[in-house]
Structure formats: structure tokens, C-alpha cells
A = this chain, B = another copy of it.
Amino acid sequence: MRYMGLIDRYRDLLPVNEKTPALTLHEGNTPLIRADRLSEELQLDLYFKFEGMNPTGSFKDRGMVMAVAKAMEEGSRTIMCASTGNTSAAAAAYAARGGLACVVLIPNGNIALGKLAQAYAYGATVLAIDGNFDQALDIVRDITSKHPITLVNSVNPYRLEGQKTAAFEIVDALGNAPDYLAIPVGNAGNISAYWKGFKEYREAGRSTSVPKMIGFQAAGASPLVAGKPFPNPETVATAIRIGNPASWDLAVAAHTESEGGVWAVTDEEILEAYRTIAAKEGVFAEPASAASIAGVMKRRREGALPAGSQVVCVLTGHGLKDPNIAIKTVAAEPVVIPATEDAVLAAIASAEAARG
């Protein structure tokens, strides 16, 4: 049976009906890759749910296909969001696919165009306001409450509905829920969506258990760990640089009900995990994604995760989303050598010696 996207695949567990358009860019169906080397090192049965393999390169596509399909069903011609990153890329892509206009509001100043390259490519209208991100979001909320324009930021309830399908896929691949689901936590929508998905799948009789939900925030942006908002969140993992998560209560419910928890990992631990999974497993994810791996490594070292546990780490986005970080943290100017076989062989030998 040909895979035709999330809405087609999980129709019976999504809020769709015969009027919902069959919108798809073939999102979802992302690989669950076993981390063979790390499993052995950590004595775990460790998997990566590689969400970077979605069409725009992040898990946001799952929620966005639902949000945009419902906007179309309701007759909306325009969608709108405040975002400087993965959300704007997903919104712009699905708007283009559905034939809707997409308006992206961003705060003015210090905008890295690279982060917006996708929104522009997919034809979105990008507006910078003289104000901060919260003001941008307020304007989006105001306008979308009064005009036939659909808000697609994470407060749109269909976003979590779409995102929960990643939990379904994990169960479908493993045959049941894993012992632990490790996940980076920023705005906290994704941990909430996974938990909803695991519970619904068990209710539907498609699994017999649910995992312990273990979330990881960057130390410089860890409001859920501290129990209070961070007014100036800072971390290299920009996709989880959030000081006051929109889905705070849902996230707390997820880790409490599941007997999991939320912990912080440092930027150094995140970058170490980021390098490790690329070099040891061949999986290149964006820095925020590596927070889940960094957390698992740390908790395992601390003895908090029993040996032999089955753990799925969610990798939220593709490493290509943020190539500058790769260049800054792992690249170097190449070694320049003469164009001779001997020089190349000597350089290989010395690289192999350095590798140990």
C-alpha cells in the first residue's frame, strides 16, 4: 500500500472528516533508526526517531499538515504565524501546497536570513515588526481572531493532533511502546503530543503499554526544570530556546502521569551528543535534537536508566537546518598538502593515528 501522508495513514485517530482535503507532502513515516554503536556503549536498546526526514526537515510538518488541512476545510485562504524558524518553514510549505497565502511575522533586528530561507523559498510573505517576539505573537492572535485568517502557531489545537502521530509510528515499528521516550523540550508541545499519541494508541488497543516520558531542556532555557519562566533564554540549540513554554501544563502532565521527568543538559553536553551521533551512527540532526541524546547519556551514566532499557530518542530536525553550527563546531580549514600519492598517504596515516 503506497504511503500517502499522515492524514491518510492515521485517519481514524485524527479529527478529520470527508470534507478535510487530502493535503500531503508525504510527511511522517520517518525512520526509526537503531543506534547500534551507542546501544552497545550505553548498554541500552537505543533508537532514533529521525524527524529531520520530514519534507521541510523538521517534526513541525506533522502538525502543520493538520493545521493547514483544517484551515482549508474551514474556508480560510490565508494562514499566519509568528516564527523565525522551523514553524515558518512548515507553514509556508503547506500553504504553498494547499494554495493558501502564508504570512510570517518576525521581530525586527538581528534576523539571520538563513533561518528564513525556506519560508521565502515557499513563497511566504515575511513581515518584520518593530517589536519583540511576544508582540509579534500578540498581533497574530488579534488579527486571526477577527479576520478569516488562520493562526498556525502552536496554540492551534490541530498542531498537537498531527504531532501525536509520531508516537503511533514508533509503536507500529517496535510492536509496542518503548520503555522510555526521550525528547527535547522547548515550547513543550511535542512532549505533550507524543504523550497524547501513546495514550490514544493504548486506548485504541494498538499497544499494551505507554513509555516513561523523559524530557530534556537546554540549561540556559530550562523553565520546566526550574519551575519558573526564563526571561532571557540562551542556548546553542536555537529550536528549544524558549523561556516560557506554551504547553507548560500539558508537559508537566505528560512527565508526571508517565512517571518520567524533565532535566537540563548543558550546551557542551548537547554539542558533544550532536557530534557523537553524526560520527558514530551517521545521523546528522540539528543541535536541539541532540538534547535528547545528551540527556539519555547523562541519565545512564548517573545510573538513572536501567541497563537493557528500550529507549527512543526523538531527533526533531535535520542537521542541514543549521549548517553554520556544524561548520563552527566540527569543521576546520582543510589540511592542505601537495598533490602526490605519498603526501596523501602520509596525511591519511596521521589522521588514523589521531583517531586512535
Interface, chain A (partner B; CB < 8 A):
2-3, 25-26, 29, 31-33, 37, 50, 53, 55-57, 78, 93-99, 101, 103, 105-106, 108, 111, 113-114, 116-118, 120-123, 125-131, 135-136, 139, 142-143, 147, 149, 172-173, 275, 278-284, 318-321, 323, 326-327, 330-341, 343-345, 347-348, 351-352, 355
Contacts and interface: CB of A to CB of B under 8 A. Distances in A.
Q: Which of A123, A327, A339 has the most CB of B within 10 A?
A: A339
B341 A129 contact: no
Contacts of A106: 334
A78 B347 CA distance: 13
A178 to B, nearest CB: 15
A56 B344 contact: no
Contacts of A334: 106, 108, 111, 116, 126-128
B331 A122 contact: no
Q: How many copies does the complex hold?
A: 2
A321 B348 CA distance: 27
A135 B25 CA distance: 42
A228 to B, nearest CB: 27
A294 B244 CA distance: 46
A142 B339 CA distance: 12
A81 to B, nearest CB: 12
Given A120-B326, A130-B339, 9 more contacts: A25-B282, A96-B282, A98-B282, A120-B330, A122-B282, A135-B339, A142-B341, A143-B341, A320-B320
B344 A129 contact: yes
The CB with the most chain B CB atoms within 10 A, among A3, A319, A323, is that of A323
Contact of A130 (B29, B33, B98, B337): B337
A111 B334 CA distance: 9
Nearest to A57: B320
Contact of A336 (B99, B130, B355): B130
Nearest to A90: B282
Nearest to A172: B2
Contact of A320 (B2, B128, B142, B318): B318
A3 to B, nearest CB: 8
A103 B348 contact: yes
Which 9 interchain pairs have the tightest Cβ spacing? A97-B282, A131-B339, A26-B31, A123-B279, A128-B334, A96-B282, A320-B320, A120-B331, A125-B351
A5 to B, nearest CB: 9
A55 B53 contact: yes
B337 A129 contact: yes
A319 B122 CA distance: 11
Given A127-B334, A339-B129, A31 B25 contact: yes
B127 A337 contact: yes
A293 to B, nearest CB: 14
